[in-house]
Amino acid sequence: MEKYQRIDFRDQISKNKRKSFFLILIVVLVIIALGYVISLAFDPVWFWFIMIFSIIFSISYTLISYYNSHKISIKSVGAKKADRSKYKDFYNIVEGLTLASGLPMPKLYVMPSNQINAFASGRDPKHAVICVTEGALAKLDRRELEGVLAHELGHIGNYDIRYMTLVAVMVGMVAIISEMFLRSLWLKGGGDNDNNKLGIILLIIGILLAILAPIVVQLVQLAISRKHEYSADATAVKFTRYPQGLIGALKKIKQDYSYETSEKKVSKAIAPLFFASPLKNLTSTHPPIEKRIEALERM
């Protein structure tokens, strides 16, 4: 009798996409609730000023980051373009996976680190890059490396970068709206609501929402990131038809990875891109390795 009920990778991908959509809906509802309370507690002119400014700022910032995401991420980790003559297997594996998946060939980079890790970036499959650490190339066998690279191609094929950018826009909007609302309290003069009990209650609710909303949407963003890791694992199985390769890589990472002695500091901004979380904290961008292995063993 099998330990786990076997699942199909297609079902896993569809399930995680539905959950991610639901989580994004939560972020939208938080924005609406925050805006509604602010509009009741303050003059509507303040609300529209905050909304217009935050939308313009968030979208402008995100678009610049979005169109240059691959350049920013590669530069931030000090990666270099992979030499085809030196990393022949790296190129051969990715070329084989692109043929199997129908995706265009991404640009390949190598990151100086002894840890086993990798990440993909780029706004769409035509502008994608895949970066692996020197440790991954040295410590993983061919099937394990193929599983990791298939996972990264899964992110590219699933348009995860575009999806997470959308979430980043909404998270940024909530943070900016909340910050401007709290700062505007110092500038707000006397008004009809100052001596009105309902106005005071709404103001208190607005303050609480402004403080809690950024925390809530940040947790939602982390949850979405974890769901996309499961989807990318399932997509990797779709491309390779061999879950054991990815399972082997995850087991090696579990045995080999040392967060405390990490010699390569990674920005929190690009941490969600990595195959395995390069950071150790309570709000991890990745699901536990044990959970990922368990899901793969059921495929």
**Cα 219 from chain centroid?**
12
Identify the top-confidence range among 74-78, 144-148, 218-222: 144-148
Fold of 70-160+237-297: Zincin-like (3.30.2010)
Q: What percent of the chain has pLDDT over 90?
A: 26
224 in Cβ contact with 23 (< 8 Å): yes
Phi/psi of residue 111, nearest 5 degrees = -105, 130
Position with higher pLDDT, 9 vs 150:
150
For residue 130, list its beta bridge partners.
Answer: 108, 120
Determine the residue type at 153: L
Mean pLDDT of 207-224: 73
Question: CA 252, CA 238: separation in Å to the nearest integer?
Answer: 22
152 labelled catalytic? yes
Question: CA 143, CA 149: separation in Å to the nearest integer?
Answer: 10
Domain ranges of the chain: 9-67+170-224, 70-160+237-297
Q: Which two tokens stand for residue 244?
A: 């054991």
**pLDDT score of 22 more than 80:** no
Lowest mean pLDDT among 98-102, 135-139, 204-208, 262-266: 262-266
Half-sphere exposure of 194 (CA within 13 A, CB side): 6
Q: For 115-142, what is each residue's pLDDT tens digit?
A: 899 999 887 888 899 999 999 999 999 9
Question: CA 68, CA 122: separation in Å to the nearest integer?
Answer: 8
Question: CA 281, CA 61: separation in Å to the nearest integer?
Answer: 27
Determine the residue type at 56: I
8-state DSSP, 266? -
User: What is the arrangement of strands in the sheet containing 118-121, beginning at the earlier edge strand?
Assistant: 80-81, 107-111, 129-133, 118-121
Q: Which of 95, 134, 144, 152 is catalytic?
A: 152
Q: For 42-64, what is each residue's pLDDT tens digit?
A: 666 666 776 677 667 766 766 77
E strands, 57-189, where? Answer: 80-81, 107-111, 118-121, 129-133
Residue 243 parent element (H or E) = helix 243-256
245 in Cβ contact with 143 (< 8 Å): yes
Position with higher pLDDT, 168 vs 149:
149
Position with higher pLDDT, 289 vs 22:
289
